[in-house]
Amino acid sequence: MNFRIVFSNSGKNNGDSVEDELEMATVRHRPEALELLEAQSKFTKKELQILYRGFKNECPSGVVNEETFKEIYSQFFPQGDSTTYAHFLFNAFDTDHNGAVSFEDFIKGLSILLRGTVQEKLNWAFNLYDINKDGYITKEEMLDIMKAIYDMMGKCTYPVLKEDAPRQHVETFFQKMDKNKDGVVTIDEFIESCQKDENIMRSMQLFENVI
C-alpha cells in the first residue's frame, strides 16, 4: 500500500494538529492516541499526523477492507495484475485477522518496512510468505507469493522473464533455506539464510519495493 501522495501536504501550519485531533475523534474507527502510536512506531507525531490525513483521505471510515486495499494498490501497478499480491499483503497488515486494516495496523507494519531493523523486516517478510500462518513456509506458499509478484510486475519487465521463472526462483531459494530438508522453512532457517546469502537478501528486498 503506497501513501507517498500524502507527504505533499507536509507544509501545512500547526493549526492542522488540532484539526487532525478533532477529526480523529469523529471517524467511525477511532485510532489510538498519536502519543501511543509514536511510542509504538518509528514515526514522529508530525509524520503520523500527515500519514493519518492521507489514510483518512483514502479510507474515511478509519479502516480499509480488502477490496478497497486492492483498488488502492492496483493504481501503482497498472502494467500488471496486483490482485493476488495485494491479498497476501492485506493479510500481513491485518495482524488480528478481522478482515480490516486500521490506521494502527497500517502504521505498525509501515514502521517496520520503512525503518525497522533487518531482523524486524525479515520477521515481517516471513509472516507475509507464511500464508496460512502456521509458523512454516512451504514451497507452495513461496511459489504463490513469487507468482503474485511476477503477475504484479506485468509483462513489461526487462529482460522479459520466462514463464517458469517464478518456479525456478523458488526451487533455488527453497533448497538453500530448507537446511534440514524436511520440506518446510522455519523462521530461524529463513532469517539465517537471508542474512548469509546476498542473493536471497536482495530478492527479499523486492517486497519492500512493492509496498
What CATH number is attached to the domain comprising 104? 1.10.238.10
Secondary structure class of 115 (helix, strand, coil): helix
pLDDT of 64 reads 94
Examine the pLDDT at 48 and tell me if it is beyond 60: yes
Region of poorest pLDDT, from 91-95, 119-123, 194-198: 194-198
pLDDT at 199: 74
Asked if residue 130 belongs to a domain, the reply is yes
List of E strands, 10-151 = 63-65, 100-102, 137-138
Helix axes 66-74, 83-93, angle to 10 degrees: 130
**Average of per-residue pLDDT across 61-68:** 92
* Dihedral sign, Cα of residue 74, residue 138, residue 200, residue 193: positive
pTM for the whole thing?
0.76
pLDDT over threshold 80, residue 158: no
Residue ending a domain, among 70, 91, 115, is 115
CA-based nearest residue to 192, from 135, 122, 124, 128: 122
**pLDDT category of residue 208 using cuts at 50, 70 and 90:** low
In-domain check, residue 22 = no
Are 88 and 76 within one domain?
Answer: yes
| Pairwise CA distance, residues 196 & 182, whole Å | 20
pLDDT at residue 92 in the model: 94
Q: In which domain, by residue range, is 74 found?
A: 30-115
CA distance 206 to 178: 21
pLDDT mean over 204-211: 55
Q: For residue 13, is pLDDT > 50?
A: no
Average pLDDT of every residue of the chain = 81
Instruction: Identify whether 181 is part of a domain.
Output: yes
| Residue given cell 514463464 in the structure block | 163
Question: Do residues 153 and 77 lie in contact, with contact meaning Cβ atoms separated by under 8 Å?
Answer: yes
Where is the domain boundary, 91, 115, 139?
A: 115
81 plus 129 within the same structural domain: no
The number of domains in the chain is: 2
- CB count in 10 Å sphere of residue 154: 13
* Torsional sign, CA 130, 133, 137, 143: negative
The tally of CA atoms less than 13 A away on the side-chain side of residue 192 is 11
CA–CA separation, 112 and 119 (whole Å): 10
